[in-house]
Structure formats: C-alpha cells, structure tokens
Amino acid sequence: MKENSASRRKSLSVGRKCDSSEKRLPKSVIVKALRGGLGGAKLESDTRELIYTICEEFVKHLVSITLEQSDKVNKKVLAPEHVFAALKEMGYDQHIMKLTEFTQDYNQKMSDRKKKIKLLRDGFKNSGTRQSLVNEQADLIQAAEERRKERQRQIDIENEKKLEEYKNLTKDAASYSPEPDHDMFD
C-alpha cells in the first residue's frame, strides 16, 4: 500500500517544475480568481506568475496529502472527507467549515440539476414520437389560425356596423336643414 501511495505522489511532481507533457492548472482560472479578488488593483506579470506557481504547488501538495489520507483508510477514490483531512493536517482547520458548507451547496445544486435534466428527458420521452409532436404542433397552429380568423370576422362585423352608423349620421346631417329663424334678421 505504501508503494502505491508513493508512486501516486511521485506522479504529481511535487516540488519540481512541470515539463510540457504534464498537466497544469489552467492559468485563466487563476487569473480570473485574482481579478475578482483584487478589486481595482493591478498585478505585475511576475507577481501573477508567482501566484500561479504557488497555486499549482499548493494543489499538488494538497493532492499528495489527500492521497495519503485516502490510503490510511484503504480507499482508492479521493473523497471530500480526504481533502478536508488533508487540509486539517496542513493546518487549515479554520477553512474546513466554510469549505464543507460550499461542498454541500455544490452537491445540492448538482443534484437539483440532475433531477431537472431527468424530468426534461422523461417528459420528452412521455410526450410521444417526433411525428406525433409535429402533428400536435400543426394542430395547435391551425387552432390558433382559426381563432385569429374568427376574431378578424368579429372586428369586420363591428367595423361594418360603425360604418353603417356613420353613413346614417352623414345622411341625416346632409338632409338636415335648419328652418330659418326670422327673428334673427328683423
């Protein structure tokens, strides 16, 4: 078991520079985190590179100790509790509570997301074949078109009534001739 742990730690290249074939942390992630935490302050490129290197080494060291923690309990898969035990061993006890809460929130969000995806998939599966969905959509479009035509007929009827009223009013107005008021001219 000790040989397995040692070989896994060695593969992490703790304490030495990574050659181009080894996987590295994405710089964009570190730079984004730095920008978010700095506010308006600027970093020199040397400082940014130093912080990036420190982050890389920290992660490698954390994984190495996490591997030791998982080996202690004869587990081959690293779990959050192994990471928390490693952080405690490294002296970061004060951060474990906050990281535990973050992990629980993250797990809950992922669980909710998986449930939503499953509901969507199941809902689509239960909705019928592609052709039945196309037919249903065509029926809905036809029903909407019929409602639109009926509404347009109602509007046309209302407009005809108003036009007829207007014609009657103008006809009455044209035929109206006031009787002359003889007193006005006297």
Name which residue leads in pLDDT, 60 or 31.
60
Residues 6+ apart with CB under 8 A from 95: 87
Name which residue leads in pLDDT, 155 or 5.
155
CATH of residue 42's domain is 1.10.20.10
Write out the H or E segment, with its range, that includes residue 174: helix 130-175
Number of structural domains found in the chain? 1
Residue 98 belongs to a domain? no
**For residues 111 and 109, what is the distance between their CA atoms, to the nearest angstrom?**
5
What is the structure's pLDDT at 18? 44
pTM given for the model: 0.51
DSSP 11: T
Residue 145 belongs to a domain? no
Write out the H or E segment, with its range, that includes residue 103: helix 93-126
Give the model's confidence band at 7: pLDDT under 50 very low, under 70 low, under 90 confident, else very high: low
Residues 6+ apart with CB under 8 A from 96: 84, 87, 88
Residue 117 belongs to a domain? no
Helix, strand, coil percent content, the chain, rounded in steps of 5: 75, 0, 25
What is the DSSP secondary-structure string of 112-135?
HHHHHHHHHHHHHHHT--HHHHHH
Give the pLDDT mean for 96-106: 93
Residues 6+ apart with CB under 8 A from 3: none
Give the pLDDT mean for 154-181: 83
What is the structure's pLDDT at 16? 39
Residue 18 belongs to a domain? no
Residue 112 belongs to a domain? no
Residue 184 belongs to a domain? no
Contact by Cβ (8 Å): 58, 75: no
What is the structure's pLDDT at 67? 94
* Residue 11 phi, psi dihedral angles, 5° rounding: -65, -15
Q: Which of 44-48, 129-133, 147-151, 166-170 has the lowest mean pLDDT?
A: 129-133
| Residues written for the chain | 186
Q: Which domain holds residue 67?
A: 25-91
- What tens digit of pLDDT does each residue of 51-77 get? 899 999 999 999 999 999 999 999 888
What is the structure's pLDDT at 4? 55
**For residues 75 and 4, what is the distance between their CA atoms, to the nearest angstrom?**
12
What is the structure's pLDDT at 133? 81
What is the structure's pLDDT at 183? 59
- What tens digit of pLDDT does each residue of 106-151 get? 999 999 999 888 877 777 666 667 788 888 899 999 999 999 999 9
